[in-house]
Structures are given as structure tokens and as C-alpha cells.
Structure 1
Amino acid sequence: MTTMDLNSDLGESLGAWTMGDDAAMLEIVSSANVACGFHAGDPVGILQTLRAAAERGVVVGAHVAYPDLKGFGRRSMDISSAELVADVIYQIGALQGLAAAAGTTVRYVKPHGALYNTIAHDARQAKDVITAIRAIDPKLALVALAGSPLVQWARDAGLRVVSEAFADRAYTPQGALVSRREKGAVLHDPEVIAQRMVRLVREGVVEAIDGSTVRIEADSICVHGDSPDAVGIAREVRRRFEADGIQIASFMAPSMAPVMAAVQG
């Protein structure tokens, strides 16, 4: 049976500010990118999300970001290498501690927002993130934008890389994500999104924003937890996958995700 990982950005609520529906998303996805407090999330909420992920056998990753609570981590920063390396180590370490208390472990790292987009092509900041991951735990996988230079840079450094596509984002003809500042960058129709993702899994292509076809080789598909009707989109993607014989399962090896393997049968 064909399998695909479905992930979402969770743990992003902050104090009185609620972001997304973590409980509902954790019933749908196989991997949870959990905020580490730099772009969103507070310790109480993060711990609650980690506990819920552990109960459902959902694999957990560290959703590291620039220190940008006000901008939700979506503002680019010309940050020094020393600071970026330390910030990423700090975030992973914090999430590892909370995960241990929740009865689970951190298996991978997925950068968030502007950091994710920057290191996809910026060699210096990419090296800094890679250095940080290798320093704290070289067994952690790195989730990276499918087709970006970061994929090979991380592999050359000895990291396991998970290539990622986005269910609710539009693509350029070159395979990059359309900027959120442009019209049509974020997709909202669950049926259209689900159909696109089935085609991605079966054919390895998606329709770009100009109507052309672009090839995307992905190991995981993300549905943003903060998107309007994110849960509805994720549910429809899962429904269409199951109807088409596509099994949703973590990209981690079965031996590293025994609970998920059992849940998925």
C-alpha cells in the first residue's frame, strides 16, 4: 500500500490567544510540528499538545523559528550564526524536556515560517541550522522544502532529510511556494486541495499557480494548523487518501514509531 505522512504545525496557542485546534488535528495527522516558544506557544499549551500527541501515537518534531512572537515567525531576520545555532539548540532542548515529561520524544526538526523559507536557499543560515541539529542530536531528521538546495546540503552533512510539500499552499512553476503576500498563495477549498494531494502522491506533480505542472518529490505533506478550516482540510485530505488506498503513516521507521505503526495497522 502507498503511504504518505501528513503533518501539521501545532502547539501555537499563546496565553489567551488560541491558535488552531490541536486536539482535532491530532486525530488526523501522523506527525506534529510542535512550536518551541520562539514564534508561538507557551509551556503549558506545548506540554498539553505533547501529551495529546503521545496518547494518539503521533510522532513529534521541533518546530523551531526565529525569535519573533510579534510576527509569528514570518519575518526574515539577518541573524548571526552564533545566535542562530544557539537559538535552534535551545528550542530543540526545551521541547525535548517537555516531550520527556509528556511521555514522548522529539524525532525530527522542522523550521517554521521565514526561517524555513530562508534556509531552503540561504547556504549560511542553512549550515547554522544543520550545525545546531548535529550538535544536539544528529539522529534527528530535518524536514525541508522539497526540491530546495537545503535537501542536498543537509544530506551532505549526514542528516536524514524529509522532503515536504504543502497541501494548502500554491506553487510557482519553479516548484517554490508562492509568497503569502501574493493573491492565491493560500488555498482554502478542501476538495480541491485533497484532489491536488492525491495527484501529488500518485503522480508526483501538482498544478502551479499559472496552470502548468510542476514535479514535487515529497515524503510528507503539511496542512497548516493556523489556516482557515485547517481541520476540515486535513479531514478531507485524509478521507480522499483512504478512499484512494493511500495510508497515512509517519515518515519515521516503524521501530522509531511503534505506537503509530500499531494505530495504522
Structure 2
Amino acid sequence: MRFSLLPLLLLALAPLAAREPGAVWRAPLTPERIAALADPHGAAAPTLARALAAAAEVLPLQAAAVSPVPLFPLAVAPAPKAGLGQALAQHADFAGAQADDYETFAAAARRLLAGGPLPRHPADATARRWQDLGATLVREVAAARAALPAGSVAPAGFDALATDLQVLAALCRYHSRRSLAAIHYSLFKRGLRLAELLAATYTEREVVAAWRDLVHVAGDRYPPDVAAHWRAVLKSLEVNLRELEEQCCPPDEAIAKEKVWAPGYGLQPAAGDAPAKN
């Protein structure tokens, strides 16, 4: 019977790899890898493990609900239909990565206007899942910091790991708000109600704020090509937002007072809830 030391070697090297930015998404976050990344951090290990368990859902959910093309954190932008910085109109028209399982934004608008059975993964429920994952990451990273002994130096690799998790939290907020903005925009297209376009625009401002948080938290910690790509996404989002605002802002007072669709759950703040850059 042959015995390989490679798995043990990889686990032994995990704490060293965690000192480099991007360790969280460099390989799948299996339970063994989560333990290897979290355990060296002493009192902060339990909360880091919970944060990593949430992080393990982020990129698979993106692949299932948004695009099978890797979007993050690759520096090379994928096809326009799947791009992170695309215009809201393009995003709202996206057919979905797994349309049989995850409701498209156009289908969500049809369901909300005409009624009908709920799909397996309604678009607004997926938006909430994004929000919940982001909130979990923010909460557990803050708890991990608080668990470190006062006045002590953080264990080697802690800051890199925490930054990765904060970046993923901002990515979750981006997807949560982008999904809601796309639903509003799809409702506008089907019903031609300017109030829904206005709601889409206001929500898109939160999309830009979430991505701006991501760029701020990332700072200059990541490879230059990756950081440049993230900044380019922000610039594209800002340009697209200005074009959207030109269509409906400032709004007519009557339009601004019209009732619009709202998700059936409370929204976490889109801006300002990201932990400050280390």
C-alpha cells in the first residue's frame, strides 16, 4: 500500500501560504483547509473558521448564480455578458449561469408582476443570500480581531487572511445590491414605470459604493494586475452609474413618491459597513 505525504505537506504549508494575499480563494476551502488556515491564530481561530466557512460559499455561488466564467479575482476581464463592471442593462439581461436552478432577473420581473410559482432559487432570495454571507464575513472578522489579546501582535498571516475575507465581504455586498438593481431595472423594462428605473439607479449607487469598499480594503496588497483590474471595474461602474442617473435624475416629485417593489427583508447598509483598511 502506497502512502503519500503530499496532503500532509500541503496542510503543513497552509499557514505559510496564508501569509500571502489571495490565500482564501487560491484553492477550495475544504474543512481541512479551513482548519489549517484558522488554527494558527490562537484565540481568533474559531471566529476565523466561521468566516472561512462562509467564504467557502462565495465563489461557488457566483459560479452558479452569476457566471460559470471565473470573474474574481482574475485580472483578465471575461466575456462582456459576465463582466463585473458591465452596465446595469447588460447585467439585467444576463441569462444566468444555471437558468434551471437560479432565476434570471427578467424571470423575476415577470413573476413579481404577473404572479406564478417560486423557482428553486428566486433572484431576490439569492440577493439575500449574498447579503447574509457578506454580513457574516464582516461580523466574524471583527470578532476575530476582538479575540486577539489586547496589545499583542497579530499572528503571522492574520492581516492577509482578514483582508481576503473583507474583500470577499465587499464582493458579496456588490452582488447583493447588483441583483436588486437588476430586478428593479427589469421591472422598469416590463412595466415602463420610471419609479422602478429610479429605484434601480439608487440601488446602483450602493453597488458602486460596495465595489469602492472592495478597492479601498484591497489597497496595494494584491498583485498590480489584479489591483488594476479591480480599479478598472470601479471606473466602469462609476461611468455606467452616471449614464443611468442622466436618464432619471433629478426625478419628478410624483415619480419619487411612487411605490416600488422592495425585497421582503431588511437591507444591511451598503456603504460604511466594511471594516476599515488595516
Scaled by the length of structure 1, what TM-score is found? Answer: 0.29
Scaled by the length of structure 2, what TM-score is found? Answer: 0.28
Higher helix share: 2
Larger gyration radius, structure 1 or structure 2:
2
